[in-house]
Amino acid sequence: MMGLAPYGRPGSKEVEHFKELIKKHLVKIYPDGSVWLNQEYFDYAVGLRMVKEEKWEKLFGFPRRIPESDIDQVHCDFALAAQEVTEEIIFRLAQTAKELTGSQNLVMAGGVALNCVANGKLLRSGLFENLWIQPAAGDAGGALGAALATYHIYFGKPREIQKPDAMQGAFLGPEFSDLDIKKVARKYKAPYKEFEDFDELCQVVARLIAEGYVVGWFQGRMEWGPRALGNRSILADPRNPEMQKRLNLKIKFRESFRPFAPSVLYEKAQDYFEDATISPYMLLVFPVKKELRRELPEGYHDFPWREKLYYIRSELPAITHIDFSARVQTVHRETNPRYWKLLKAFEDLTGCAVLVNTSFNVRGEPIVCTPEDAYRCFMRTEMDYLVMGNLLFDKKEQPPWPEEKDWREEYGLD
């Protein structure tokens, strides 16, 4: 929804009509931000579906979009309407929290806290000085809440603010040694090059990315949460105007409109993004700096959405969304020194301190966890190189991957 919403037409009669229907029939929004959902239109409480499709189709006047079918302007306008209503609720809740507490610090959790567009707007509004979003916001984050509740309520431990936070960059998952990786390579008879000097490996990978290759990057402990943060990532050059299309269609196997996020050296974030601040968990959206943008042609906002999609909007086209926004991850040397070194090597080589960072998986599949997961995903897609630990795998040198049934049917599409 967030990715499609900017293709909607702000202020158009279609968007305003959808917002009116949402507020009149689906959700009642109270002044304090609390909401009441009309259960006549929802089925999540007692059924296996989120919504009652037939009632939604009758209310909004267009049928449910079947996965992989064409996207029309009506879908874009509806996404924008839903996003704007969501933002209204979030801002009302935030204002109420401010009035009740007087605090300058706001912590957000829950699935809607992953709405990084709303988060970025809330931060830039100045309502709070500091905003922190739990990186595993959603049901999975309940585990952290339970642990903290026990720590503070049962054991009576003091609540202390730690900067940037105490989650170690959310790198809390499993870790695998080079020996583990070599076992997988031996299983598949996969050739690789091993580097004793990690800095040299970073220089080689930076050059490959600058030459237009796509690299799977598998390092250290797995991230906790829905965002790849540089340990289970697919990386590419944000300056390449063909990269968004290639990543979506050839590697992620998903709709072409979906944007990609940038990783940027924290020290250089404000060189590329307006009002950029600490954003280690890729949960805030910032505008791309005006000096990096390209002028839009006359009548651009009236173009069909597909014509807007591949228009080169900035010097970093692969990570600049249609509204000049980007979902930014700031990379910190203290929490992820290996990924920081790769970004620094790329900057030293190209003058650009930004990389495209998308999760190491294909659409619908979980982010890879183990070396075997990573190698399988590497071989099933059109990734060019794979780095696991200090080992570099070149797709051209790998033995053929065995034919198998359409593996994309293993997981439901997201």
Residues 268-291: tens digit of each pLDDT: 999 999 999 999 999 999 999 999
Structure confidence at residue 405 (pLDDT): 63
Average pLDDT in the 153-180 region? 90
Average pLDDT in the 187-194 region? 98
Average pLDDT in the 288-310 region? 84
Lowest model confidence (mean pLDDT) among 158-162, 283-287, 328-332:
158-162
Contact 275, 330 (CB under 8 A): no
Summary mean pLDDT of the chain: 92
Structure confidence at residue 408 (pLDDT): 60
Structure confidence at residue 301 (pLDDT): 75
| CA 317 – CA 311 distance, rounded (Å) | 9
* Res. 414 pLDDT band, cuts 50 70 90: low
pLDDT higher than 90, residue 251? no
Structure confidence at residue 187 (pLDDT): 97
Average pLDDT in the 20-44 region? 97
Structure confidence at residue 411 (pLDDT): 56
Environment class of residue 406 by beta-carbon count within 10 Å: exposed (0-12), middle (13-18) or buried (19+)? exposed
pLDDT higher than 70, residue 409? no
pLDDT higher than 60, residue 413? no
Structure confidence at residue 107 (pLDDT): 92
C-beta atoms surrounding 94 within 10 Å: 19
Q: Determine the 3-state secondary structure of 37 from DSSP.
A: strand
Average pLDDT in the 308-324 region? 89
| CA 104 – CA 132 distance, rounded (Å) | 11
Structure confidence at residue 138 (pLDDT): 85
Lowest model confidence (mean pLDDT) among 115-129, 243-257, 333-347, 359-373:
243-257
Contact 256, 248 (CB under 8 A): yes
Best CA proximity match to 376, nearest among 405, 407, 411: 407
Best CA proximity match to 378, nearest among 265, 251, 253, 201: 251
* Res. 369 pLDDT band, cuts 50 70 90: very high
pLDDT digits (tens, 9 = 90+) for 63-88: 998 877 889 999 999 999 999 999 99
Every domain of the chain and the residues it spans: 1-99, 103-161, 171-409
Best CA proximity match to 96, nearest among 28, 27, 33, 29: 33
pLDDT higher than 70, residue 380? yes
Average pLDDT in the 10-24 region? 97
Structure confidence at residue 297 (pLDDT): 84
Average pLDDT in the 46-68 region? 92
Structure confidence at residue 296 (pLDDT): 84
pLDDT digits (tens, 9 = 90+) for 213-240: 999 999 999 999 889 999 999 999 999 9
Lowest model confidence (mean pLDDT) among 140-144, 239-243, 279-283:
140-144
Q: How is domain 171-409 classified at the CATH fold level?
A: DHBP synthase (3.90.870)
Average pLDDT in the 173-195 region? 97
pLDDT higher than 80, residue 244? yes
- pLDDT over 90, % of the chain: 76
Spell out a b/e string for 128-166, using b for 16 or more CB atoms within 10 Å of the CB, else e: beebbbbbbbeeebeebeeeeeeeeeeeeeeeeeeebbe
* Res. 157 pLDDT band, cuts 50 70 90: very high
* Res. 2 pLDDT band, cuts 50 70 90: confident
Best CA proximity match to 228, nearest among 54, 374, 62: 374
Structure confidence at residue 412 (pLDDT): 58
pLDDT higher than 70, residue 147? yes
